[in-house]
Structure 1
Amino acid sequence: MTLVNPSDDADPEEQSAVDEGEVEDLKPIDQATLDKLMELYAGASEVERSSELDGASPDGPTSDVDLPGFKFLTSLLKATPFTDFVHYQSVSCYTHPEKQDRVSQYCSEHKWVSGFCTFADILLRVVVVLMVLGTIGAILVGAIYKTFYA
């Protein structure tokens, strides 16, 4: 593979030809530039660091607790099925170039639906939290009752 760069003395017409994909106006890179490029590439730390991550997020793990059922509870707390419905409807009904514009258009035209979906997602999270706290409370009450009163 030969590395090439546009000629420095090219006029704007020749430069536009290069921009359009014509490569006949390009000249090979001299050896000094190639040596400098290889020197920079050899000292690149970004490539080494990204290969050390092995596909992991650079911010680290999202949760370091690996308990049975923890991922399930986390997914329940992050679930937004009603808001996902609003997003699905907005993407399928509107033709704005940006998804955000589609969602805002849908929410402005269907305020009741988007408000209900937001409330339902919050209510779902509250119910999940109450179920978890209720289960923990029932376990504690059962343990205390068996320990002291049985």
Structure 2
Amino acid sequence: MLSRSVFVVGLLVFLSLVGRPAEAAKLRVRGKVSSLAPVGISYSSARLSRPTHSVLVTFTNLGTVSKASYTLSYTANGIPQGVVGTLSPSGRLSDTRDLYFGTCSKGVCTPHTNITDASLTIATTLKNGRMNTKRYIIKPKW
């Protein structure tokens, strides 16, 4: 008897939901896109380099940049690691940095292994005072 009453209650709930009229979303009116609309400007790009065991960061459009900073943070074998640096354009329109996943001492470099949770954050300060921040999630597979 209990299962029959549960069935009846379930059927009544279902019918009450199905019997309602459908509500439609407001019609979307699409306008023309102006060809003069501002386009986003990128101030950096990053890519992994397997041969150098690093991230190659390219800074672009530096004519409008007063300063840029970068932070590469990651965990290697369970130990937090990182690279921090700044860039002052001084007349250059582009520049690159090779951020190594490892340590170097007296000309000998040792790559880190088991890298996890890697991210690169680049903060750019423009000459007009505005700031631009870009974050990259990095998943090296070497």
Q: TM-score of the superposition, structure 1-length normalised?
A: 0.23
Q: Which has the higher contact order (CA 8 A, sep 6+)?
A: 2
**Structure having the higher Rg:** 1
The structure with the greater share of residues assigned to helix is: 1
Q: TM-score of the superposition, structure 2-length normalised?
A: 0.24
